[in-house]
Amino acid sequence: MTMNLTSIVAGTAAALLLYWGSLGVPWKLRSWTGETPIEKSYERTQNIMKWVGIPCVFISASCQAVIAIFGPN
Give pLDDT tens digits for 16-69.
999 999 988 888 888 888 788 888 998 999 999 999 999 999 999 999 999 999
pTM: 0.80
Distance CA 53, CA 44 (A): 14
Length of the chain in residues, anyone? 73
Angle at 21 between CA 3 and CA 33, to 5 degrees: 165
Residue 73 pLDDT: 62
Residue 14: pLDDT over 90: yes
Query: What pLDDT score was predicted for residue 27?
Result: 83
Higher pLDDT, 28 or 7: 7
